[in-house]
Structure 1
Amino acid sequence: MKKLLLSLAVAITLSSCLDNLNANGKSAVNEETVSSASIESDIKFWTWITADPNKSDNEYLDEFDKYKSHGLDAVLINTETDADLLARLVPLAKEKGLEVHAWMFTMNRPGDKVALEHPEWYAVNRNGESTFTHRPYVDYYQWMCPTRKESTGHVLGIVEKLAKVEGIASVHLDYIRLPDIFLPVGLLPKYDLTQEVELPEFDYCYCEVCVTEFEEIHHKNPLEMENPAIDIEWKQFRLNKIRDVVNKAYKIAHENGKDLTAAVFPYPEMADHMVRQRWDKWNVDDVLPMIYHNFYNEELDWIGFATKQGVQDLQGKNVGLHSGIYLPPLNGQEVGRAIQMALENGAKGVSFFDGNALTDEHLKVIKSFKKDL
């Protein structure tokens, strides 16, 4: 995969772990607010990071030590699916006491050299435009069709390659969905868009394979529907195709003695509506919903609301929920409040995007939640 991905962690992207907005001003940490915040010692803190193969082992040891000494427990590492680089970093992180999770771009595969040799593998919108040539919103949106055996087989082959890396705790799926049919409302002005209905240019996948298979099952063609947005079977067909990829990935991960984790949209009903992702129906061990409140023009307490929604939807399932927090707009006190609200509403932990955005102020607050540090 080309070097583009190395810069994605600091680029503006669309409602995934790599999303970014302009940071707001910071204020000093309110020690009194966060000092009593320790809830329980077994809460889990994670951070997403993007690997740089040019960094030395000693630089990584210093980075991992900084995380661990301030209360973090796990790192989700994007190596552009480079299993050798991942294998190099695993023992360094484990030496410092951190879990390692292999973070991968799943249905969105920008710059994938193998996939680029197969234009037919890419998702197609209602206008007949493929993400191979017509990329929605941003240049690195190149999405695989979730129905074709060849495209999903390629994605699952990557899952297996990463799952075989010794010492990782999980394969971590990101972009495990279709392109955004609706952007977060806070991002619409950036693209000068109004999205009050499902627009054909953002509605995927209408490729020949998807349409043919759906028509064989339901005896109707979504391309001939006057308003496909209100056809529940057509939406469910695509939700199920994403679910099937996840469930196959789960089997592969577990066959290799690894868990399967996923970065997902804030809560299942919202994910269903926005990106064809119903994650409470998946076989998965842990979910890290990206509850980036500012993307949706919501206040900080929305983190608690969205966490509670996800926890309720997972009730009765053996799936851990760890609320994802977007760091740049938050000062230390706000990070403390965000953690507190997530935990009070049932989260088993909190994940932070991303490692580079963790300030000394943030780290001090995170550490205050761990009684044993």
Structure 2
Amino acid sequence: MTKPTKFLQALLLVLITLFISCGTNEQKKEKIAPTDTSSNTETFKLWTWITADKARTDESFDEEFKKYGDNGINAILINTYGDPELLARLVPIAKKYNLEVHAWMFTMNRPGDKVAEQHPEWYAVSRDGKSCFDEPPYVGYYKWLCPTRKESREHILSLIEGLSKVEGVASFHLDYIRYSDIFLPIGLLPKYNLKQETELPRYDFCYCDVCTSEFEKEHHKNPNDFSNPAIDMEWKNFRLNKVKAIVDEAYKITHANGKILTAAVFPYPEMADHMVRQRWDKWNIDAVLPMIYNVFYNEEIDWIGYATQQGVNDLKGKNTELHTGIYVPGMTPEQLQEAIHQSISNGAKGVSFFDGPAITEEQWQVIRASQNPQ
């Protein structure tokens, strides 16, 4: 009788252990578990993009910034439409909640720019001769300036100078630092009833007289004569280098003013090169925030990890940090948690959420948990 009794006692102990374990797992399902960031031992940064309206009161900004600070956000990228006075007004409010302030500005795309609008010749021209001043591609706010023309370049750099001189700002943040989209993200094509399988003349920029004449002087051929411009590497590199030249100049300006340079970019360099003539792994820049908005590309959450890793690998050997940009609208808390995990576990130094006002309370719970891994 001794052996059966010991066996039954052991069996009972196993059943009790399993019961307790199952109960614990059920309790865990009721909460958002902390994001596992053990693969990145350094503290990672949480950012968000926001747009500021100067008509708002300081009290309303204070309430918004407090929410970001209370929920674990470390840095805010503020679009003030190039207004240094508004930016200076917001810095001390953000500092109350230990938030870094980054001056976010639309760079090559300049909708509503009153100075540029006085100079129609500054705007980029498509292969079929349409100026962004008169006929912007895709949407009315696509008002792209030419990166080659001296006057438009100097105008852009003067705006960067003004914002980067604001005391207390951590960086100047370039956005739309590229040409107009040659190829839209696949998930957006139905919205515009478009099929883009080749580089279409309407979306291929810049063929203004300044660009084509400078290129012809350097390479002894004119892009207007090409039967298939997409396969001419000199013409492609000419345009990539025009964007790089503005970034590199912005780097000098921001560093001279004691700031760093950051940028919102397309998901990874090869993709950015293909879609918008943007090769950001070759830039002089301190940090990039690739907008890895999986829903725009009809991709699953794990694609965020793939694109993050691709960018990190392309930046090896450079002093440029990568912080993954995540598009939060429509994401479930579980999807957001996985997006953060995919970013950090694939080498990102942080994540940025687009945009602050769109984050739900359920998503804030995930964000708070990500800063307190157990």
Could you state the TM-score of these two structures normalised by the residue count of structure 1? 0.90
Q: 1:113 & 1:293 partners in 2: Cα distance?
A: 34
Report the counterpart of residue 325 of structure 1 in structure 2: 326
Kindly tell me: are residues 30 and 177 of structure 1, through their superposed partners in 2, closer, same or farther at Cα, counting changes over 3 Å? farther
State the structure with more CA Rg: 2
Is the counterpart of residue 212 in structure 1 residue 210 in structure 2?
no
Q: Which amino acid aligns with 1:283?
A: N
1:38–1:371 CA contact under 8 A, matched in 2: no
Q: 1:136 & 1:36 partners in 2: Cα distance?
A: 41
2:329–2:358 CA contact under 8 A, matched in 1: yes
Q: Secondary structure at the match of 2:241?
A: helix
In the TM superposition, what whole-angstrom CA distance separates every residue of 1:137-191 from its partner, at most 9, and x where no partner exists?
0000000001011001000000000001000000000000000000000000000
Report the counterpart of residue 148 of structure 2 in structure 1: 147
In the TM superposition, what whole-angstrom CA distance separates every residue of 1:348-371 from its partner, at most 9, and x where no partner exists?
000000011111111111111113
Q: 1:47 & 1:288 partners in 2: Cα distance?
A: 11
Q: 1:267 & 1:31 partners in 2: Cα distance?
A: 36
Report the counterpart of residue 7 of structure 2 in structure 1: none
Q: Secondary structure at the match of 1:343?
A: helix
Kindly tell me: are residues 88 and 372 of structure 1, through their superposed partners in 2, closer, same or farther at Cα, counting changes over 3 Å? farther
Report the counterpart of residue 161 of structure 1 in structure 2: 162
Report the counterpart of residue 296 of structure 1 in structure 2: 297
Q: 1:129 & 1:62 partners in 2: Cα distance?
A: 45
Q: 1:337 & 1:225 partners in 2: Cα distance?
A: 46
Question: Shift of residue 58 of structure 1?
Answer: 1.9
Question: Shift of residue 95 of structure 1?
Answer: 1.1
Q: Where do 1:184-199 residues align within 5 Å? A: 184-199=185-200
In the TM superposition, what whole-angstrom CA distance separates every residue of 1:240-272 from its partner, at most 9, and x where no partner exists?
000000000010000000010000000000000
Kindly tell me: are residues 57 and 205 of structure 1, through their superposed partners in 2, closer, same or farther at Cα, counting changes over 3 Å? same
Q: Secondary structure at the match of 1:262?
A: strand
Report the counterpart of residue 35 of structure 1 in structure 2: 34
Question: Shift of residue 60 of structure 1?
Answer: 1.4
1:104–1:174 CA contact under 8 A, matched in 2: yes
Report the counterpart of residue 84 of structure 2 in structure 1: 83
Q: Which amino acid aligns with 1:265?
A: F
2:32–2:366 CA contact under 8 A, matched in 1: no
Q: Which has the higher contact order (CA 8 A, sep 6+)?
A: 1
Q: Secondary structure at the match of 1:34?
A: coil
Q: Where do 1:44-59 residues align within 5 Å? A: 44-59=45-60
Is the counterpart of residue 101 in structure 1 residue 102 in structure 2?
yes
Question: Shift of residue 38 of structure 1?
Answer: 4.6
Q: 1:60 & 1:30 partners in 2: Cα distance?
A: 36
Structure 2's unaligned 5+ residue stretches are: 1-27
Aligned residues: 345
Q: Secondary structure at the match of 2:325?
A: strand
Question: Shift of residue 332 of structure 1?
Answer: 1.2
Could you state the TM-score of these two structures normalised by the residue count of structure 2? 0.90
Q: Which amino acid aligns with 1:35?
A: P
Q: Where do 1:274-353 residues align within 5 Å? A: 274-353=275-354
Q: Where do 1:179-258 residues align within 5 Å? A: 179-258=180-259
Q: Which amino acid aligns with 1:187?
A: L
Question: Shift of residue 54 of structure 1?
Answer: 2.3
Q: Which runs of 4+ in 1 moved over 6 A?
A: none
Q: Secondary structure at the match of 1:66?
A: helix
Report the counterpart of residue 274 of structure 2 in structure 1: 273
Q: 1:181 & 1:254 partners in 2: Cα distance?
A: 32
Q: Secondary structure at the match of 2:131?
A: coil
Question: Shift of residue 37 of structure 1?
Answer: 2.8
Kindly tell me: are residues 187 and 355 of structure 1, through their superposed partners in 2, closer, same or farther at Cα, counting changes over 3 Å? same
1:148–1:209 CA contact under 8 A, matched in 2: yes
Q: Secondary structure at the match of 2:115?
A: helix
Q: 1:281 & 1:31 partners in 2: Cα distance?
A: 46
